[in-house]
Structures are given as structure tokens and as C-alpha cells.
Copies of this chain bind each other. A is one copy, B any other.
Amino acid sequence: MSESDITLDLARAERIGLEEAIFCAHTTTAQLAAILHALAGAERRALLTRLSAARRDELPHALRMRLDYDAVSETAFFDWQEAAIEIDRVAIVTAGSSDMPVAREALRTLCYAGVGARLIADVGVAGLWRLQARLDEIRACPVCIAVAGMDAALPSVLGGLYAGALIAVPTSVGYGVARGGTTALHAILASCAPGIVAVNIDNGYGAACAALRILGS
């Protein structure tokens, strides 16, 4: 794998307002290094997703030093400059603490794009008072990302209480009939509450991109 085998889509941000992100799960370390060199050559920053800590450690030291890495979400920012964010426009809500990696992937993607977001964790419907206590904070944002695994009842309940754009992310949390997030995904799509939309299982990055499309619109 050499740099000449890489075709970066550098004009993507101009076309659709979203930069190409690097999905690292299926790339080799050699491919990844070649991509980062190409980006550096083009003087571009980048968002990396699904970058395990082990994979990051295999990168050459010089590249590794240019990454702002978050271990919980397995995301990294390459050659990124922090900028001031004023208000929270997205509420990210999770059913349980096991949903945190996915929620943080969404949070980091928004942060990379300069959009403020608020993380409200651990408000699953088995203890409904927890959600009710945080409802005003959620309603203050025009977009909400709801992250939930297992039966994913949280987005349905939220859908009856919250009027803004509601993006649900099913997670692979659970076992047995949870089926790696399929039950959560199907429960979200079959929800009796109207107007909820879904992204792929564990796709916190995609949910954040959808929020960016909405906020840019």
C-alpha cells in the first residue's frame, strides 16, 4: 500500500458540508499511515473513528504526536485546532453507562465540527424519574441524539415528550435476544412515537453527521 493507491475525497466538505472521516477498523496500520501522510501533504486535518488504542500505538511516533486521542470513543483528531464553542445545540442522551463509547463518538464528532453538545447519561426508562429530571435541558436543544441498547425504550418515551429532531442510535449492548443491537434498531424503527429516525448500530459518528446536516440546513 503506497500513497499513490489512495484517493482522498478532499472536496467532500465543499459538496456536502462534511469532511471525509477515516474509518480505521478495517484498515491496516500501513494503510492508515499512508492516509495520514497524504492528509499531511495536502495540509488537511481529519477525524479518525474506530481507532483502537493498540492500533494507535503501532503508528509512527511522528504521526501519533499529531493525534488528539479519546480512548473511550476510540476517536482521534489529526492536526486539529481547538476552537471556542458557545452554546449547546445537541443533547446526547444515554440509557445506561454501557452506551458511553457510542455517545462519546457522537460528542467528539460534534466537537471536531465546532458544535456544542451536552451529554446526559444513564437515564433509562426503568427509572423514569431520571429522564424527567433532565427534560428541560434536553428541550433546550433543537436536536437530540438518543443512545440506547437492549430494548431501546428510551427513544420511544422521549419521542412523546420532546418536539425537536430526534436521532436514535441503537447500541450493541445486551446479550441473547438483544442480538448485537438488532432488537434495539428494530424497536426504534417500529416505535409508536412519530418522527424518530435511526442510524446504524453503534454509529455515533453517523448520528452526529445527521445532526450537522440538520443544523446546517
A217 within 8 A of B: yes
A129: chain B residues within 8 A (beta carbon)? 11
Q: Tell me if B195 and A185 are in contact (CB < 8 A).
A: no
Neighbour of A191 across the interface among B142, B153, B162, B186, CB < 8 A: B153
Q: Tell me if B183 and A122 are in contact (CB < 8 A).
A: no
Q: Tell me if B213 and A165 are in contact (CB < 8 A).
A: yes
Q: Which of A122, A125, A126, A128 has the most CB of B within 10 A?
A: A126
A202: chain B residues within 8 A (beta carbon)? 175-176
Q: Tell me if A176 and B172 are in contact (CB < 8 A).
A: yes
Select the stretch in A19-27, A51-59, A62-70, A75-83 that faces chain B.
Answer: A19-27
Neighbour of A7 across the interface among B121, B165, B182, CB < 8 A: B121
One complex includes copies of this chain to the number of 8
Q: Chain B residue with minimal CB distance to A99?
A: B26
Q: Tell me if B216 and A164 are in contact (CB < 8 A).
A: yes
Rounded to whole Å, the gap between the CB of A92 and the closest CB of chain B is 13
Q: A9-B126, A9-B130, A183-B183 are in contact. Are A178 and B190 (CB under 8 A)?
A: yes
Q: Chain B residue with minimal CB distance to A216?
A: B163
A48 within 8 A of B: no
Residues of A168-214 contacting chain B, CB below 8 A: 170, 172-203, 205-206, 209-210, 212-214
Q: Tell me if B189 and A186 are in contact (CB < 8 A).
A: no
On A, residues with C-beta under 8 Å from B are 1, 5-7, 9, 11-12, 15-18, 20-21, 23, 25-27, 31, 35, 72, 95-98, 100, 121-130, 142-143, 150-153, 156-157, 159-167, 170, 172-203, 205-206, 209-210, 212-214, 216-217
Apart from the given pairs A26-B98, A177-B182, A195-B213, 20 other A-B contacts in the complex at a CB distance below 8 Å:
A7-B130, A12-B126, A18-B195, A31-B100, A125-B157, A142-B217, A150-B190, A151-B190, A151-B191, A153-B156, A163-B217, A165-B165, A165-B213, A165-B214, A183-B187, A184-B190, A189-B203, A195-B209, A196-B199, A198-B198
